C-alpha cells in the first residue's frame, strides 16, 4: 500500500451497540477502503470503547476538512466520541533530546535515514557537545543547550524556543539525562516519549546496571513511556526484557540494556507516528 494514501481514525467513547457499524458504514459511503480495524472494550456492557481504523483515501469523495466535518456532525455526535483523523502523508516533526549516550538517538536517526521511520527530524538538542559531529553527519541541525539544575528555567526556555522554531510535533528523550520540569512536560501532553531502564524504582540514581549486577538480577529491561509532570510515572507505551545470569558482567548488562532500549524506543516512536496509541488516563491502549 502507498503510505501517502493512508488515513487513520481513532475513537474513544462509551461502548454502545452499533458504533463499529456506524463508523465503517460512514467511511464506506464516502469511498474509503478500510484496511485495518482494531478495537478494545473495557467492559462488554458499560465500559469504554477504543477503536482504530486505517483506510485508503484515493476514492474518498470529500476533501479532508469536509470529511471530518461530516463525521463530526453525524457519527461522532450521535455517540459522543472523542476522536481524530490523521493522514500518513503528513509526516510528524520529531525533535530529539539527548545527552552523551548515543545509542538511542542514533537508532532513531538511522531508521529515519533508511525511510523506516516516517517522520521529519528538524533538530537534535543536547546538553553536551559530544554528539554534534555524529548528528550533523545525518544532515540534522544540532543545538547545544547547557542544562544545570540552577539554570533549568533558562535552559528550558531556550529549548522551547528551538522547538517552536523547528515546528516540532513531538519530542523523544533519547537518553536525555536531565529532569524536565512539570511545566515543560505540561506544554507537550502525550507528546514527549522517554526511554529508560526497567529497574525503576528499584535501582534509582547513578549507574543502575552496576547496582543490578551487585544484586544479581536475573532480568533486565527497558521501558518507553509518555512524560508527565510526575517523574517516570507517565503512561507506558512499550516494554521488553532479557534474561541474564551470573555469567554476565556489568559491561555485558549495559550492552544488553542498550540493545533493549534501542528496540523498545524505536517501536514506541513508530507506534506513536502511526497513531496506534490511545492514552487512557495513566495507561495506554496500543494497537500494535
| Residue positions annotated with a catalytic role | 232
Rg of the chain over CA atoms, in angstroms? 21
Q: Which candidate, 123, 243, 118, 120, places its Cα nearest to that of 174?
A: 123
Helix (H) or strand (E) holding 156: helix 152-165
What's the Cα-to-Cα distance from 21 to each of 37, 59, 83, 235, 249, rounded to whole Å?
12, 20, 16, 30, 56
C-alpha of 18 from chain center: 31
C-alpha of 145 from chain center: 23
The cell for 212 is: 543490578
Helix (H) or strand (E) holding 97: strand 93-98
3-state helix, strand, coil in the chain (%, to 5): 35, 30, 35
Amino acid at each position: 500500500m502507498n503510505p501517502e494514501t493512508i488515513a487513520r481514525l481513532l475513537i474513544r467513547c462509551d461502548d454502545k451497540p452499533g458504533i463499529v457499524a456506524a463508523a465503517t458504514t460512514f467511511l464506506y459511503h464516502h469511498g474509503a477502503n478500510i484496511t485495518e480495524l482494531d478495537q478494545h472494550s473495557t467492559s462488554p456492557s458499560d465500559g469504554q470503547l477504543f477503536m482504530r481504523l486505517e483506510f485508503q483515501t484515493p476514492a474518498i469523495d470529500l476533501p479532508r476538512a469536509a470529511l471530518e466535518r461530516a463525521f463530526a456532525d453525524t457519527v461522532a455526535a450521535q455517540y459522543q466520541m472523542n476522536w481524530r483523523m490523521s493522514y500518513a502523508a503528513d509526516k510528524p516533526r520529531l525533535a530529539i533530546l539527548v545527552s552523551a549516550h548515543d545509542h538511542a538517538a542514533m537508532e532513531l536517526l538511522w531508521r529515519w535515514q533508511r525511510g523506516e521511520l516516517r517522520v521529519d527530524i528538524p533538530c537534535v538538542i543536547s546538553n553536551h557537545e559530544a554528539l554534534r559531529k555524529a548528528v550533523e553527519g545525518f544532515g540534522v541541525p544540532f543545538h547545544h543547550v547547557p542544562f544545570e539544575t540552577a539554570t533549568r528555567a533558562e535552559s528550558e526556555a531556550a529549548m522551547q524556543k528551538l522547538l517552536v522554531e523547528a515546528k516540532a510535533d513531538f519530542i523523544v528523550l533519547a537518553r536525555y539525562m536531565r529532569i524536565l520540569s512539570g511545566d515543560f512536560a505540561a506544554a507537550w501532553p502525550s507528546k514527549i516519549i522517554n526511554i529508560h531502564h526497567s529497574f525503576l524504582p528499584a535501582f534509582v540514581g547513578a549507574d543502575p546496571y552496576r547496582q543490578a549486577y551487585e544484586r544479581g538480577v536475573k532480568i533486565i529491561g527497558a521501558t518507553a513511556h509518555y512524560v508527565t509532570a510526575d517523574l517516570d510515572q507517565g503512561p507506558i507505551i512499550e516494554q521488553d526484557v532479557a534474561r541474564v545470569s551470573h555469567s554476565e558482567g556489568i559491561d555485558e548488562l549495559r550492552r544488553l540494556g542498550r540493545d533493549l532500549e534501542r528496540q523498545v524506543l524505536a517501536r514506541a516512536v513508530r507506534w506513536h507516528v502511526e497513531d496506534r496509541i490511545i492514552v487512557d488516563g495513566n495507561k495506554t491502549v496500543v494497537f500494535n
